Each structure stands twice: as C-alpha cells, then as structure tokens.
Amino acid sequence: MKSLDLANAGLPSAAVRPGWRSQLDKLIDGWMSSPGFYRWAIGNPITRWVTRRRAAQLFQIMAGFVHSQVLLSCVRLHLLESLRDGPKSLEVLSQECQMSPAALQRLLHSAVSLRLLELRGPHVYGLGALGAPVAADVGLRLMIEHNAVLFDDMRDTVALLRDEIQPHMQAYWPYMDGDKPPSWEVDKVARYSELMATSQRFVIEELLASYDFSQHRCVMDVGGGQGGWITALGQHHGQLQLKLFDLPPVAALAQARFEANGLGGRASAHGGSFISDPLPTGADLVTLVRVAHDHPDATVKALLKAIYQALPVGGMLLLAEPMAQATGPHSVGDAYFHFYLLAMGSGRLRSPEELKTLLSEAGFGTVMDVANPMPLHTRLLLAQKN
C-alpha cells in the first residue's frame, strides 16, 4: 500500500473554517443531499436554471468515459481528418470507414452531440467546433490514441489507487525504472520521444508567447526530448547558442534533428542521466519542460540542485509543465494529470507553491509565476540564481 503522505499529495489545502461556518456547511450539505431537494429546486423558477446546469455537469462527469471513446473512435477512423477537406455524406463516410451506414450514423450523431461534428444538411456531416482543433493537430490525435493506455489502467481505479495493479503506463515510459541502461530500450525510447515531439507544439506556443528569450545568450533544455523546443527556439532567435540534455538515445535523436534543421553549428545535444551525471555548464537560461512532474520529490530536488549548480550567478531556470489548482475552466486538468502521473508510477502533479518551495530549497533566490495563455495544460515558473 502507498504510504500516507498528505503533505506531499499535491492536493488543495484550505484554511480551517470557523465553527459557525462548519455548522452552516453541515446544514447546507444535509439540505442539498436530502431526497426532497431536487424536486424543490427543479420546481422553483429561480433555482431551476442552476439545477439544470448542475445536472448537465454531473451527467458530463458520469458519461465522460463514453464521450472520450466517441472521440477516440473518430480519431481511429480518421473521420476528423477526412472532413477537413469539406463536408461529406453518410454514404461516402460509410465507404471510407468500412462500416454500415446504420452503425456509423450512431457514432456520427454522438459526435454531433459532443460538437466534434456538425450536421450540415440531411445526412451530411462537417467538422464541429471541438473537432476542428483535433483535425488540425497530429500531436493531439496521438495523445488521444495514447490515452487508450490510461483508459485501460483506469478500468479499476480503486485498485490503481491502492497500488494493487501494475499499470500499462509504466511500461510505456522506460525511464520510470530510474536511469539504468537496460531500461533504455531503443524502440520504446523512440516511441515515447515521438509522442512527446508531436505533442510539444502546444507547449512551445506557450513558451514563445510568454517569455522574452532575446535577453539570453545560451539556453539549455534539460530532458529536452527530440529537440522540438530547442529547434523552434533557435528558429525564432538567431542569436542564441543552444544545448540539450537527455538520455543518450534521446539526445542522439535530438542531434539528428538539429543537423536536419541546419542548427548543427549552434545547437548541441548531450547524452547522460540527470540522476547520475553532471549537467553541462555554459547556459544562462535552463528550460525544464514537462520533466519534473514525472519524478518523485527526491529526484526533482537533486535535479533542481544540479541545474542551480550548472548556472552562473544571475542565471535563470524556466520551468513549464501542468500544475495543480489552476482556477476557473482550467481546473479540469487536475483530475486528468493526477491520474496520468499516478499510472506512470513515480511522479505527481504539483501546485505552483510546492514547486516554488522545491526551487527555493535547491538554492534559487527569486521564484515567480510567468503568466501564459493556456494554463490548462502548462504553467510557467521562473527562478533566478542570485
């Protein structure tokens, strides 16, 4: 059984409520969960709209697993890509998908109800507002397909939480075994690196939109994967020297990408493990993108310390990854990332406050939030070595 470590569970913390407030909460909870409450709320014109909205939200949660399988089916049948060229009839789609019109119509109508598709005429379907971004982005489609692994692991979520099953997700990520060479199976490394490279576009947009990289001389991306981020950065900022550090087989893929993009003279990839090898020096900005959340606190502490040591005084670390407790509509990411990282086996979703504490403990003097357009999947923190 996993040990009880509430302080490190990445969960929201709240101040203790005064006694009167707890009494009031108790009354409200009892009233709202009483058998007569729903009848009263739906029968009252003032509360009806709230009740309808909450019922729809609860239905979304209950049926969410069906909705995500509708999305997955659309991706597997290449429906969304096919409709990028324009609307198509049921007959044409049924030939393309090699499925009877009656069966396919069930999927198409479900997809219309989820706004993945749109009905453009009798038996004619086009892209819906939520299907269009999926049709546009291969990285998103790969992530949706990859989520089938997590879906399998969440078949018995209670067993997953109790640590009673071996999640398939752990086998997908070979570095979860630490940094021992036998775990660096080349085909597995290539598979996850490809997924990361194609899904990285959204994070790259966040980084480029939110921070001024022109103030730096040399940027090193630690755990940089196949080098998509460093390549994009090099293409946007012609003055920058660039380095990447990752496990040796991944660094080799990154070096090949640099050469292919004409960045060989400015960008170099260094193979090693941040668990056991020192990091290259010379960079005045280190980026750490979607790396810390994969690892337990002890590894993250050691990694942040190693980055601190590799930086000159005044040097910066820009950390980008999903973080817990985003507000408003962005908070829906929490449930997904909490379970994704649980199934992965060793990391956890941390709040900005927890990451700030880890950064301060590693020696960084100033740590601040950097606002970015889409906190749903990525948030940014900037730390400076004083």
Of the two residues 247 and 310, which places its CB atom closer to ligand SAM in the complex? 247
Q: By three-state DSSP, how is residue 116 classified? A: coil
Stated as kind and residue range, the H or E segment containing 202 is helix 201-210
Q: Binding string to ligand SAM for residues 183 to 212, with x set by CB under 6 A, is what?
A: ----------x--x---x--x---------
State the minimum distance, in angstroms, from the CB of residue 291 to ligand SAM: 5
State the minimum distance, in angstroms, from the CB of residue 249 to ligand SAM: 8
Position closest to ligand SAM via CB: 223
Q: Which of residues 220-249 bind ligand SAM (CB under 6 A)?
A: 223-225, 246-247
Residue 39 backbone zone (phi > 0: left; psi -120 to 50: alpha; other: beta): alpha
Q: Which of residues 267-306 bind ligand SAM (CB under 6 A)?
A: 273-275, 289-291, 294
Of the two residues 203 and 349, which places its CB atom closer to ligand SAM in the complex? 203
Strand order through the sheet with 124-127: 88-89, 124-127, 117-121
Of the two residues 104 and 203, which places its CB atom closer to ligand SAM in the complex? 203
Long-range CB contacts (within 8 A, 24+) of 293-297: 293/321, 293/322, 293/337, 293/341, 293/347, 293/348, 293/349, 293/350, 294/173, 294/175, 294/176, 294/341, 294/344, 294/346, 294/347, 295/346, 295/347, 296/346, 296/347, 296/348, 297/8, 297/358
Of the two residues 294 and 354, which places its CB atom closer to ligand SAM in the complex? 294
Of the two residues 96 and 277, which places its CB atom closer to ligand SAM in the complex? 277
Stated as kind and residue range, the H or E segment containing 178 is none
Q: Which of residues 51-80 bind ligand SAM (CB under 6 A)?
A: none
Of the two residues 10 and 249, which places its CB atom closer to ligand SAM in the complex? 249
List, as one string, the DSSP characters of 265-298: TTEEEEE--TTTSPPP---SEEEEES-GGGS-HH
Compute the radius of gyration of the chain from its Cα atoms.
24
Instruction: List the one residue from 150, 160, 167, 175 that touches ligand SAM (CB under 6 A).
Output: 175
Interface with ligand SAM includes 250 (CB under 6 A)?
Answer: yes
State the minimum distance, in angstroms, from the CB of residue 44 to ligand SAM: 50
State the minimum distance, in angstroms, from the CB of residue 1 to ligand SAM: 26
Positions that interact with ligand SAM (CB under 6 A): 175, 179, 193, 196, 200, 203, 223-225, 246-247, 250, 273-275, 289-291, 294
